[in-house]
Structure 1
Amino acid sequence: MLELLSQLIEFETVNDPTRGKKPSRECPKFIRDTLDSWGIESEIIEEDGYYAVYGEVGNGIPKIMLMAHFDVVPVNIEEWKTDPFKLTIIGNKAYGRGSADDKGNVAGIMLALKELSTKRLSGKVIFAFTGDEEIGGKLAMHIAEKLRKEGKLPKYLINADGIGMNPIIRRRKGFSAIIEIPQQKITIKGKLMKKSFTINTPVLQTRHAAYFMPGVDMHPMIALSHFLRNSDVFAVKVEGKFLKSNVLPSKVELTYVEPDESGEETEADLGLTNLLKSIVPLVRAPISAERYSDFGVSITPNLYSFENGVHRLRLDIRAMSHLPEQIERVLKEVVEFNIPTAKLTITHNEKAGYLFTSPDSELVRVMMETLEHLGEKVKPVEGAGASDSRYFTPYGVEAIDFGPRGGNIHGPNEYADVPSLKLLPKIYTDVAMNLLKS
């Protein structure tokens, strides 16, 4: 398990469209070739320059699907204490980008498939490893639509993209809000100043936007906004570690002008000032949801850019909802009140839903019994982030997410718990066998 995971982590499968980075064909080719060496046939699927590996084990009607993703989020190398693209074992922790999200699960499923391929199965197991989950999961959507058209949708999906060794039965849907406002230069007499804001997550060490907990964690951009709203100063520019729309920036620095008639004339930006001030009301917008969620509705401002005279702020929004129009209505009210010259755009994938599986379902029951038999004390829980299972649930596929214990998802020094990693192949093998019998 650790040897295979080590090989997978060495493939730098970072997905970062803003910087033109995407996983190459090398990692999926390695997955396909490794499976082929074990006698398991699979194919590489390509969509818009992104790759997935798809295959089937067994005969008969497809009943179960196992899925995981091999792409990873960008790294801020300065914050890592180990090489993010080398698996490093310290005690019972396996460090490396993707160790927990999600190459540990890729390795676990691959080894489970190796075992399943040697058994007489009373049904077919479908599997897929995708390379674009971190930017929206169009490959999973493509595979779900392909299976629906071919009449091969599975009854059950185990999406190996979780953490904590508990079956995840609920996950919210993700939306994105983009707010654009033109630069508006003004000249002010005053002092040019700088102020830095650093992230603080004192309880759960993660950079994943879905896990941000207002009242506990400090978001640099929200703190910056609060500072501006309580100061008579004007923004000049913002710089920071902006990596991805669902990754919290570790640090941002505000350059601003403090008005002073005895100071020098300095150029500030009223458009940027008003945009940054609007962050506090935006993240507190009263968006409602269709279903209950432990995490409620979360809104975080994680990506900022300035290009061609336009400031652009992207908000990551998580809600147990299918209703972009309701989200747009509420945010539009906030924008019109605070920055009426700004443009608001809401984006989401219409074919994606949210994960909401009953804890009394057959899939959850079998997963719970399998885990308990292996000595794991478990309970059905909600996962904070979204996952590719959302492309299958609208078609009536019963789904759960699952994964090893670990931490620092999307952040520096990401790790997975070694004992739980070693147990993954057995879990996926046994739960597949038990579901085929049920």
Structure 2
Amino acid sequence: MKVVALETLQLAEFPFLFWLRVHTDAGLIGTGETFWAPGPVAAYIHDNVASYLLGKDPRDIELHDRTLGSVYVGARDSGAEVRGNSAVNIALWDIYGQALGEPVWRLLGGRTHRNVPIYNTCAGYKHVRATKKNALFERGEDWSLKSGDSNEGPYEDLLAWRYNAGDLARSLKSEGIGAMKIWPFDIAAEASNGTRISLADLDKALEPFQKIRDAVGRDMEIMVELHGLWTLPPALRVAEALKAYDVAWLEEPVRYNELDAMAELARHTSIPIAASERLASRQMFKQLIDKRAASVIMIDLAWCGGLSEARKIANMAEASELPVTLHDCTGPIVYAASCALSATLPNVNYQEAVRAYFTGWYTEIVADIPPVKDGHVAPLEGPGLGLSLRPELFQRPDAAVRITRI
């Protein structure tokens, strides 16, 4: 078997997402995905990866990882090269599973869990979707939005935690979901470049936590996303204020690659630190683990190097008695691959999921989604990843399709 074509897809409606299809002479097509700045990733795939991968056996995954990962620059961060290599790795595992007629999770050693508990990242329907008004994404979010501004479906969870956090917690519990992630401190961080937080702003950011506890008591785990926006002193103040709410973790309280500052914060708070979806390669995660800068190791398949690298990182964390959680607030291919890997990892604690995504726009991209039941997700059973891109996507007027053939 050999690779005969690399095909990439970008959709203007989803400006952060990138999809890759690896075609083989056996008729099998592997699908990969990554997130952020898809234009440079596409250029890297067609201008650099194609000259190496075309004509090669796609099943030699470890060889291709080592070769593509040994580039002169861009091999040790989550830049375009590593994001592109992540998409390639996911696609190659998809081909390997299809060739053997087995799901990826079986090839990764089989399940250690029938299903994995999810935490719901409380994003909304437009969180990564471009509209005529704006594209809601992390620091680009429009904080002037008011409750009721979006009515696309029942899970407008971004606005819900801002205005009705107690009702949101009750809604999640009604579906068996016992963990949720919110980020009410970002607005203060953006106003001060992360250098300070006033007591008034602190009290305002704490309001959703109080509403959640008032609504469901301690029957809900609350993860706190801080997006790496804070310097150390205000991060310490935030951590101290959150102790009363017994939150599950602080995620990226300081910049994700400022490991010494993160380690100092970890020494001064009893709240677990989770990091970092934005790190790439096991070498960087080894530094994070060795410094004990985080006690929950968060891995993103789209940014770390793919399924192969993620499994190695998870194994390192297990050797240090640390749990891992698989990050996904991006697209359906990485979500499916993450659910497959999560099922195999003995030290996984949660799989991230966004119910506004897996019940909403994910279904526009793929037909099959890992099933969520009673707050737990199971991997897909089909060969490879168990899903593929809908063919009509390539005919959309906003589609940018590029193919490099052997």
TM-score, normalised to structure 2's length? 0.28
Bigger fraction of residues in strand: 1
Decide which structure has greater helix share: 2
